[in-house]
Amino acid sequence: MKQTPQPPLAKHHLPLDQEIAMKYVTWLVEKRIADGPDTRVDFCEQSGFHPKLLYNNPHIDSIEKIFRDQSSMERLGDMTLREYMKYHYYFIHQGYRYGLGRQQQRWLGHDIIKTPWDCWSYQEIIWETKPDFVIELGVMFGGATHFYASLLDLVGHGEVLGIDITLSKAKPAENKRITYLEGGSTSPEMLEKVRSKVQGKRVLVIADSDHEKNHVLAEIRAYAPFVHVGGYFIVEDSLNDVMGYHPVPNEGPKAAAEAFLQESDDFVLDRRWGERYVMSLNPNGFLLRVK
């Protein structure tokens, strides 16, 4: 038997409190204004809603948090440290990846994928250890390379070796202290080039290339012998292991650093730098050579 077609269901209507809240949000966005007492009065007068329906709306607190005119400290001050580090990672540290180039940190016009706290630690370490060479494993845009060179300018001594599998994204070296080397960091050819330059010198190594555990561990094993006693091997972005930034969860720089310390007593973990300013990308990543 042929069934009689049923009329379409009526469109679902939002509860009135949600409807008012959404209209208010739309109104704020269209006018590009902040939430506030005068703004709420204007909206209610123009929309015909009684003000009590807005002030006592169950969604008004959430709207207020988003549209309130306030400083960054007021807006972000109640975050946990973990929440802030995640905010910093996506909105600032990795801003270039997510269409927020204007948010990206820069050093003298160069994009630099570091935190201000770690940069401050690096200048202290460079001042304390006075390296002849800073070896940077992983150049990317070259912002950090130029940062290290600027610090060496201030100290009045030292060179930077920037090593990467490809230098296609790096800006040309604008400082005479910088030498770029293109190729695999752990290849025999690259290690021989580096050895010929730094053997017997005071060396600081900063590893910031592929963050997969085995690759990082291979770099530590290969470059740790170049570091002088009293110098540092810095394993960057060990926070990836803590925060789970990897697209696929896996062990990374922190696990590599800890594995190396298990097999070598030439280095010890110097927690002073990773914990001094708290918001470091390199927890358990500052390895001090002691013998």
Q: How much of the chain, in percent, has pLDDT values that exceed 90?
A: 75
Q: Give the amino acid at 223.
A: Y
Helix, strand or coil for residue 23? helix
Mean per-residue pLDDT for 19-40?
A: 94
pLDDT recorded at residue 244: 82
Look at residue 3 and tell me whether its pLDDT is greater than 80: no
User: Please, which pLDDT band fits residue 180 given cuts at 50, 70 and 90?
Assistant: very high
pTM: 0.83
SS (H, E, C) 230-255: CCEEEECCCHHHHHCCCCCCCCCHHH
* Band of residue 78 on the pLDDT scale cut at 50, 70, 90: confident
> Six-digit token pair at 11?
């469109």
Digit-coded pLDDT (tens) for 44-56: 999 999 999 999 9
* CATH superfamily of this structure's domain 110-289: Vaccinia Virus protein VP39 (3.40.50.150)
Residues for the chain: how many in total? 291
Output the DSSP codes for 29-73. Answer: HHHT--B-HHHHHHHHHHH---HHHHHT-TTHHHHHHHHB---HH
The phi-psi region of residue 284 (left if phi > 0; otherwise alpha if psi is between -120 and 50; otherwise beta) is left
